[in-house]
Amino acid sequence: MAVRNRLTGERTHVPSAVGRRSRVASGPHDRHHEIIDAALELFATIGYSGTTMAQIGDRLGMRGPSLYKHIASKQELLVEIVTGMMDELLRRQRAALAEGGDVRQRLSSIVAVHVQYHAEHRYEAFVGHREIDSLEEPHRSHILDLRREYESRFRELVQEGRGLDLFRTSSDRWSSYAILDMGIGVSAWYNPSGSVTPDELAATYAELALRMLGAERGD
């Protein structure tokens, strides 16, 4: 859907909110997703290091041998969760940029999808950002490369806006980090049963990001 940004007057594209779906196992593929969901909840609540494969199996009523038919290790679960998070963030970011617009519209769009993801997928985001150091090589380096690619799009747009005298900030780098941190923080406090929907929150944060950069009102 599109939400009008009150600062620029432009309409920012924000995907419809999608909640995490509970899965009922009907085959090996569905059982794999059930295991991922159980691991994700445990990693988010008690941490990766505090979670054992036995606990994951207990959550699903599965014994060790049955569990290992679907997944090789706890590390494999973490890799799938974190890689899935980064792949989806990059997919949404690329789609937002493909819609075009001036630099304010493009920045607003990628801020919106960044925030909305962190509201819709709180567990994935929380685990994905907190547990990077729990990844083993080469997976840790791969994820860090994806993170740098993701962050660079924010920095490039801030730099472009500064060059056009549309954004007023002394540092492209720190401004992009501040915008990213605003969105990442949403995963820690957002309540899906509250009064604000993910798309409304995304539009508000997109406006705040432009204000933070000192953006002029669009024509």
CA 72 to centroid of chain Cα atoms? 26
> Do 34 and 78 touch, CB atoms closer than 8 A?
no
> Is there a single domain that holds both residue 58 and residue 80?
no
Q: Are residues 108 and 159 in the same domain?
A: yes
pLDDT tens, 17-37? 333 434 444 455 688 999 999
Which helix (H) or strand (E) segment is 12 a member of?
A: strand 11-13
- For residues 94 and 194, membership in a common domain is answered with yes
Answer whether residue 209 is part of any domain: yes
For the chain, how many structural domains are there in total? Answer: 2
Is 10 domain-assigned?
Answer: no
Structure tokens at 127: 């685990």
The per-residue pLDDT for 216 is 58
Last residue of a domain, one of 72, 96, 116: 72
Average pLDDT over residues 35-57: 96
Examine the domain organization and report whether 139 and 207 are in the same domain.
Answer: yes
**What range does the domain containing 148 cover?**
73-219
Within this chain, do residues 61 and 106 fall inside the same structural domain, yes or no? no
Residues 185 and 105 in one domain: yes
- pLDDT band (50, 70, 90) for residue 66: confident
What tokens appear for 33 in the block? 């997703």
Residues 137-189: pLDDT tens digits? 999 999 999 999 999 999 999 999 999 999 999 999 999 999 999 999 999 99
| CATH number, residue 174 | 1.10.357.10
Write down the pLDDT at residue 64. 74
Q: Does 84 share its domain with 175?
A: yes
pTM equals 0.84
Window from 25-34, 52-61, 100-109, 197-206 with minimum mean pLDDT: 25-34
User: How far apart are the C-alpha atoms of 162 and 143, rounded to whole Å?
Assistant: 29
In this prediction, residues 3-13 reach a mean pLDDT of 42
Q: From CA 149, how far away is CA 180, in angstroms rounded? A: 13
Same-domain pairing of 78 and 92: yes
- 46 and 144 co-located in one domain: no
Pair (217, 157) in one structural domain: yes
Residue linked to tokens 């406090």 = 189
* 168 and 191 both lie in a single domain: yes
In a domain, 8, yes or no: no
Shared domain for 192 and 92, answered yes or no, is yes
